Amino acid sequence: MSKMATPAELVRTSMTFWTLMAETQAVMAYRLMGMAGLWSVTGGENNRMVDEKVPAFAEAMVAGNRALWSGKRPDQVALATMLPLQRRTASNNKRLARRGPNFLTLPR
């Protein structure tokens, strides 16, 4: 049986969860604004949005299962599962935030 999680380990898992959720919401907002013509996105953003899901969740599932089957604690399994998704949402958030608003379609 593995040792109990320290408060710092639980805080890290919690912060990873909340960061993942916040970045997911930001990416969704950028993409929705892009669909509405209010945010500068590339023409392939909608396809990218769909195409990235299966590999991202497969990677998360493999990481989580690997942690589970190696006897990790529940917080470690959760963290292992979230980290691949959080890396992708962080990357998408950074990439989309840099693109900025589409001033050509904003009302004047």
DSSP state of 71: T
| The pLDDT of residue 88 is above 90 | yes
The domain limits of the chain are 45-95
pTM of this prediction?
0.88
Distance from chain centroid for Cα 86: 4
Do residues 69 and 4 touch, judged by C-beta distance below 8 A?
no
Q: What is the pLDDT of residues 2-32, one digit of tens each?
A: 699 999 999 999 999 999 999 999 999 999 9
Q: What is the pLDDT of residues 26-83, one digit of tens each?
A: 999 999 999 999 999 999 999 999 999 999 999 999 999 999 999 999 999 999 999 9
pLDDT of residue 104: 75
pLDDT of residue 103: 81
**Percent helix, percent strand, percent coil in the chain, to nearest 5:** 75, 0, 25
